[in-house]
Amino acid sequence: MTGIKILSTGSCVPSRVMTNDDLAQIVETSDEWIQKRTGMSERHYVGEGEDMTYLSEMAAREAIERSGIDKSDIGVIIVSTVSGEYYSPSTACLLQSRLGLVHDLVALDVSAGCSGFIFGLETIRALMLARNAKAGLIVGAEVLSKKLDMTDRTTCVLFGDGAAAAVVALDERPYFSEIGVDGDEEMINIKVSDGHIHMDGQGTYKFAVKTVPEVIEKVVEKAGLTYDDIDHYVLHQANLRIIESIAKKVNQPMEKFVVNIEKYGNTSAASVGLALDEAYKTNRIKEGDRTLLCAFGAGRTWGTVII
């Protein structure tokens, strides 16, 4: 199966840092309570002059600059998000203009909750194949601070803002994926009526620790590999306890799992991309490494790919 390779990555997070102690001044909570249950220490919130399109643009510019490609080669733009400034036009269309990219390309947003980056990779690969595009741009971006009910400590302590981008190209090296959806509307949602994030925390935890090991097993079997053959596991940064539980279930050391949840919290569709970008920039992931990306999210979506 024709796959994709990641040529470069980029990221952008807002300048405003919200620590656990800061949140404790707003809602009944504490640094100890949050860290024990989530592994989070801080997260970033947008400030003056920052919005989701701005974060997306800055992350995309960095990825394009680092890729070494001519930006005229970009034939597909995918932005994965649930928190764009507009219902329409899409953030992807706004990026085409801000980045000065060619007009004869496909640009669209993908809404798959925290699984957005994986769904975006599947979408961009298919569209690049259909259009024989030389390169594509995928961005996962969220401004979830605008969706929080700051009186609800079960959700307001979890989420942060940020954007991550990758420039990708088609590749003949093996690519394997497993993706699905269960159509649930209650586990995690953002209702139009109030615009706030609602989440069944226990239900989400149970779903994640059951489903993620299952889909990892399926994609590893598809690839004809073993868990030991995977060099890096880059999972959605929802909760440190979830990642630790998954590592235990697949019998792999935590050293193989990229973790940065303590700095960013849960950034939904940006989460996998932010972890991937950090791993590249610190030279943790190197050319030719076999990397598994996996996420789960609202709508009971799930997806995993091996690149």
Is the pLDDT reported for residue 55 higher than 90? yes
Q: How far apart are CA 218 and CA 213, in angstroms?
A: 9
Angle subtended by helix axes 271-281 and 116-131, to nearest 10 = 80
pLDDT tens-digit readout, 137-184: 999 999 999 999 999 989 999 999 999 999 999 999 888 999 999 988
Is the pLDDT reported for residue 80 higher than 80? yes
Print burial letters for 54-81: b (CB count within 10 Å at least 16), e (below 16): bbbbbbbbbbbebbebebebbbbbbbbb
Q: What is the DSSP string of 83-130?
A: --S-SSS-HHHHHHHHHT--SSSEEEEE--GGGHHHHHHHHHHHHHHH
Q: Which residues are catalytic?
A: 114, 236, 266
Bond from prior residue into 213 cis (ω within 30 degrees of 0):
no
pLDDT tens-digit readout, 256-280: 999 999 999 999 999 999 999 999 9
pTM of the full predicted structure?
A: 0.95
**pLDDT band for position 287 (50/70/90)?**
confident
**pLDDT band for position 201 (50/70/90)?**
confident
CATH 3.40.47.10-classified regions of the chain: 3-171, 176-306
Quote the DSSP letter at residue 284: -
Is the pLDDT reported for residue 2 higher than 90? no
Per-residue confidence (pLDDT) for residue 275, from 0 to 100: 98
Which tokens in the block code for residue 288?
A: 């030719």
**pLDDT band for position 29 (50/70/90)?**
very high
CATH for 3-171? Answer: 3.40.47.10
Q: In a 3-state reduction of DSSP, which class is residue 277?
A: helix
Q: How far apart are CA 17 and CA 79, in angstroms?
A: 24
Contact predicate 274/145, CB 8 Å: no
Which tokens in the block code for residue 16?
A: 């405003």
* Type of residue at 115: S
Is the pLDDT reported for residue 1 higher than 80? no
**pLDDT band for position 186 (50/70/90)?**
confident
CATH for 176-306? Answer: 3.40.47.10
